[in-house]
Amino acid sequence: MKLGLIISGTNAETNWNALRLANLAIETGDDVKIFLVGEGVEYEKNSIPKYDVEALAQKFVTSPKAEIMACGTCLKSRSQDGTDTCPISTLKDFYGMIAWAEKLVTF
């Protein structure tokens, strides 16, 4: 399956669950793309030991079946640069992920 996930918030537990789902899907053989939009580009800032979003994001990006993208405009409006776990992308990339996905889940 081709699974697309959209993360648009910074709630640690919600983002932890999104990344748990993403990693499980990869482990079962699926291809997964995540797009970070709005506040979602700050998804790692509320990572806490109980909901270690950063660790799950690092695990996710190491898979060849995974891709993560972040809205460049959303990053710019927050004066943020792209990173390995929050790489700068475009609205065209977001649209491409939606068109690519067989299933789409939002968080």
* pLDDT digits 0-9 by tens, 21-74: 999 999 999 999 999 999 999 999 999 999 999 999 999 999 999 999 999 999
d(CA 24, CA 54): 16
Q: Model pTM greater than 0.85?
A: yes
3-state secondary structure of 64: coil
* pLDDT digits 0-9 by tens, 2-33: 999 999 999 999 999 999 999 999 999 999 99
Give me the domains of the chain, ranges plus CATH numbers.
Answer: 2-106 (3.40.1260.10)
- Structural contact between residues 26 and 63, judged by C-beta atoms closer than 8 angstroms: yes
d(CA 9, CA 43): 7
